[in-house]
Chains A and B, each alone.
Chain A
Amino acid sequence: MEERSVGMEIKKQTAIRSMKYEEFKNNDYLEEMVRELNRNGAGVIVGAVDDLLNWGRSNSIWSLTFGTSCCAIEFMALGAARYDMARFGFEVTRNSPRQADMIMVLGTITYRMAPVLKRLYDQMAEPKYVIAVGGCTISGGPFLKSYHVVNGVDKIIPVDVYIPGCPPRPEAFYYGMMQLQRKMKVEKYLGGVNRKEKEPEEEK
């Protein structure tokens, strides 16, 4: 009896039902890190231009329409009136990889599709980003054991953001896309790195 109740308690704790708000860790550590690194000064002109460019780039992410299966329909829902991604600067989806900034891999990638995906990625103009959407693209999902499914699109192309779900809800898409914006904002477009300046001697 004793053992059983302990077991039940453990089961209760591990069961994921919903997440408490305070437990939710937003990825704002990225900004904090950059702030920390730049605390003792960063380039005034280059830094400002960088910020401006990054602001522009992160607010104008045009995605390539690349849907292979179910997630693509949710992506369409994302573009439709209710979720309206145009509000955030994701207005335009380009069909030509040359003009796209981001490839959103929506749906399972199979062995036959893999070379095509890689080619599309190669055809895109720099700077380019990849979002892997859904279980299938992240790991192969339910088709993990199949003879014809790539177990994770990161085996072919570098992935910036993963959005889990089968398919993810449009809200999850948004969150993922915002993480990509966050990532873009801390980049140094004009080169150089975020680094900590040497602290002045007298402070030590």
Chain B
Amino acid sequence: MELKDKIKAIIPQAVFSETGELVVTLLPDDFRRVAETLRHDKEEPMDYLRDIVGMDWGDALGALYYLESTVTYRRITLKTSTADREQPFLPSVCDLWKTAEIKEREVYDFFGIRFLNNPDMRRIYLREDWKGYPLRKDYDMDSNPLDLDNEVNSDTTEEYYLNSDGTIKGHENTVFDRDAFVVNIGPQHPSTHGVLRMRVSLQGETICKVDPILGYIHRGIEKLNEGLTYPQTLAFTDRLDYLSAHQNRHALCMCIEKAAGIEISERAQYIRTIMDELQRIDSHLLFYSCLVMDMGGLTPFFYGFREREMILDIFEGTTGGRLIQNYNMIGGVQADLHPDFQKKVKAFIKHLRSVIKDYHDIFTGNVIATTRLKGVGVLSREDVISLGATGGTGRASGWANDVRKHHPYALYDKVDFREITYTEGDSFARYMVRMDEIMESCKIIEQLIDNIPEGEYRVKTKAIIKLPEGVFSSSVETSRGEFCVVLESHGDKYPYRLHYRSTGLPLVHAMDTACRGTKIADLIAIGGTLDFVIPDIDR
């Protein structure tokens, strides 16, 4: 049955968008009913909440809900809103999808929409004493000057619920008890992979609870985007998840090209796909290095970096950049391939295949490594789907979620590769997924590298790009999960709202589930295997 008809059967007055992509507009109460029905559908449960995108339409505040079924991989977008700007309330869906717990906090932080029945309504990215909600259109940019006082974190949080008489009540929830032994890890900490901060309550060395505190690298990219033209917005994508720079930018370029109706050349598709896969190898090598270093083995760190430098050389030859390449453009790529590109890539893959054995010898088979990784930080399949933990983390728990396979883009439907899945869901499976994916990426590149067709590397686009009205989205598989771009255009040369699905946010959210009952040392190892990049979470 068509999803459209299904929703019509539940709520006949649902509104379907006419421009852009299909968006189903619902009233808040209807929305909750549709969400429940879709979630609990027998044949096709919409059990994966990809993202919640807060929106300010001026006259109303609301959110877009991106849903996907893990059975049929069909997608649907729901939209709901409230007209009350002073005290906006929406029903929470965190009982249906666990990932909503943290995503609703994000929407609250940016738009001030409170979610009924969400147990944790603290600010997430901004200081607790922050005034106003920055992504609202009427936000005064100068209302929060730099404050150098140390921030105080409260140990309680508010929850709102609807009374039977229709009034809204709030009560306090406790995050940490007064007598809990809370250790603060981060934001300046060697192995939180950036400026993640976690408050961890301990019982001896055993972890009772993990409370991630984000926002130490929240740069306000989504707000900045609203004042930039489409080509200008591209620059920020590289700086989100700098280890997936190509793939992030690929997603945004794809989204804009789709909305503007630009067909890119075959050659550009080849280049993009190869670059994406090189980037994935680069990121996974860094993953290996950092994981091993987090676990206290310093030498393999240098092995990973040795091979990574070779990829950076290849990048540098063609794009001019090492870490951040700024290579994808609307309509293609920035520059043509370096004449040596193919030769170097082939040499690199040959070399990588020969050294990957060393990697496994020094770490994978090591008795200390295996005992520290196996059976630790287990996430079940239900957990990862409910938490929306995509990428290697999800695949390690048996959830086949590779966007390249299930919603192919670029040339991924033309190449032959295996989607790596494990069923254990522990740290070791997460590690092995990445190591195996390196080999799969090599395979993809080998299939493409000799067949790059001649032609334009970039099609000519208009100097000023204007997109038609509507909501557009595109998603790619980055090195650490599904990265999704949501773009609302009102027909200008600037986006009305440009949102990025953070790949890392659900992973950080999963920390609490994965870490409870393990030791401090495991916290670091689990964090390493979940493989998040903080600037991508904070945006």
Give me the interface of A with B, judged by CB distance under 8 Å.
64-70, 72-74, 76-77, 80-82, 95, 97, 107-108, 110-116, 118-120, 142-143, 145-150, 155-156, 166-167, 169
Within 8 A of A (CB), among B138-159: 139, 141, 144, 146-151
Q: Give bound CA distance, A74 to B535, whole Å.
A: 15
Q: Are A156 and B148 in contact (CB under 8 A)?
A: yes
Among A65, A66, A81, A111, chain B packs the most CB atoms within 10 A around the CB of A111
Given contacts A82-B309, A146-B220, A147-B134, contact A113 B195 (CB under 8 A): yes
> How close is A87's CB to chain B, nearest CB, in angstroms?
14
Q: Report if B223 contacts A (CB, 8 A).
A: yes
Q: Give bound CA distance, A146 to B219, whole Å.
A: 7
Given contacts A66-B188, A80-B309, A147-B220, contact A115 B323 (CB under 8 A): no
A72 to chain B: closest residue by CB: B194
Q: Report if B398 contacts A (CB, 8 A).
A: no
Q: Are B194 and A110 in contact (CB under 8 A)?
A: no
Give chain B residues whose Cβ lies under 8 Å from the Cβ of A146: 219-221, 223-224
With contacts A81-B306, A82-B309 known, what are 17 further pairs, Cβ within 8 A? Answer: A68-B216, A68-B217, A69-B242, A73-B323, A77-B308, A81-B302, A107-B535, A110-B215, A110-B219, A112-B126, A112-B127, A112-B216, A112-B218, A142-B236, A143-B224, A146-B221, A148-B126
Q: Report if B170 contacts A (CB, 8 A).
A: no
A150 to chain B: closest residue by CB: B146
Q: Are B239 and A145 in contact (CB under 8 A)?
A: no
Give chain B residues whose Cβ lies under 8 Å from the Cβ of A143: 219-221, 224
Q: Report if B76 contacts A (CB, 8 A).
A: no
Q: Is the interface of B mostly helix, strand, loop or mixed?
A: loop
Q: Are B148 and A108 in contact (CB under 8 A)?
A: no
Q: Give bound CA distance, A106 to B243, whole Å.
A: 16
Count residues of chain B with CB under 8 A from any CB of chain A: 49
Within 8 A of A (CB), among B31-52: none
Q: Are B224 and A145 in contact (CB under 8 A)?
A: yes
Give chain B residues whose Cβ lies under 8 Å from the Cβ of A114: 146-148
A-B pairs with beta carbons under 8 A, tally: 128
Give chain B residues whose Cβ lies under 8 Å from the Cβ of A68: 194-195, 216-217, 534-535
> How close is B496's CB to chain A, nearest CB, in angstroms?
18
Within 8 A of A (CB), among B239-265: 239, 242-243
Give chain B residues whose Cβ lies under 8 Å from the Cβ of A72: 194
Give chain A residues whose Cβ lies under 8 Å from the Cβ of B151: 112, 115
Give chain A residues whose Cβ lies under 8 Å from the Cβ of B148: 114-115, 118, 156
Q: Give bound CA distance, A146 to B224, whole Å.
A: 6
Within 8 A of A (CB), among B188-210: 188-190, 194-195
Give chain B residues whose Cβ lies under 8 Å from the Cβ of A148: 125-126, 134, 218-220
> How close is A183's CB to chain B, nearest CB, in angstroms?
24
Q: Report if B305 contacts A (CB, 8 A).
A: yes
Q: Give bound CA distance, A64 to B189, whole Å.
A: 10
Give chain B residues whose Cβ lies under 8 Å from the Cβ of A111: 127, 144, 146-147
Give chain A residues whose Cβ lies under 8 Å from the Cβ of B324: 70, 166-167
Nearest first, the 5 closest Cβ-Cβ pairs linking A and B are: A80-B305, A146-B220, A70-B242, A69-B535, A95-B190
Q: Are A108 and B188 in contact (CB under 8 A)?
A: no
Give chain A residues whose Cβ lies under 8 Å from the Cβ of B187: 113, 116
Q: Give bound CA distance, A119 to B216, whole Å.
A: 14
Give chain A residues whose Cβ lies under 8 Å from the Cβ of B150: 115, 119
Give chain B residues whose Cβ lies under 8 Å from the Cβ of A97: 188
Q: Give bound CA distance, A116 to B195, whole Å.
A: 11
Q: Give bound CA distance, A67 to B193, whole Å.
A: 8
> How close is A158's CB to chain B, nearest CB, in angstroms?
14
Interface string of B497-514 (1 = CB under 8 A from A): 000000000000000000
Q: Are B217 and A108 in contact (CB under 8 A)?
A: yes
Q: Give bound CA distance, A148 to B133, whole Å.
A: 12
B303 to chain A: closest residue by CB: A81
**B190 is contacted by which of A65, A81, A156 (Cβ under 8 Å)?**
A65
Give chain B residues whose Cβ lies under 8 Å from the Cβ of A119: 150
Q: Report if B11 contacts A (CB, 8 A).
A: no
> How close is A170's CB to chain B, nearest CB, in angstroms?
8
Give chain A residues whose Cβ lies under 8 Å from the Cβ of B538: 110
Q: Are A116 and B216 in contact (CB under 8 A)?
A: yes
Question: Could you write out 11 A-B pairs with CB less than 8 Å apart?
Answer: A65-B190, A69-B194, A77-B308, A95-B189, A115-B151, A118-B148, A147-B141, A148-B134, A148-B218, A166-B324, A167-B322
A113 to chain B: closest residue by CB: B216
> How close is A70's CB to chain B, nearest CB, in angstroms?
4
> How close is B322's CB to chain A, nearest CB, in angstroms?
6
Q: Report if B96 contacts A (CB, 8 A).
A: no
Give chain B residues whose Cβ lies under 8 Å from the Cβ of A108: 217, 219, 535
Give chain A residues whose Cβ lies under 8 Å from the Cβ of B127: 111-112
Q: Give bound CA distance, A72 to B193, whole Å.
A: 9
Q: Give bound CA distance, A64 to B190, whole Å.
A: 10
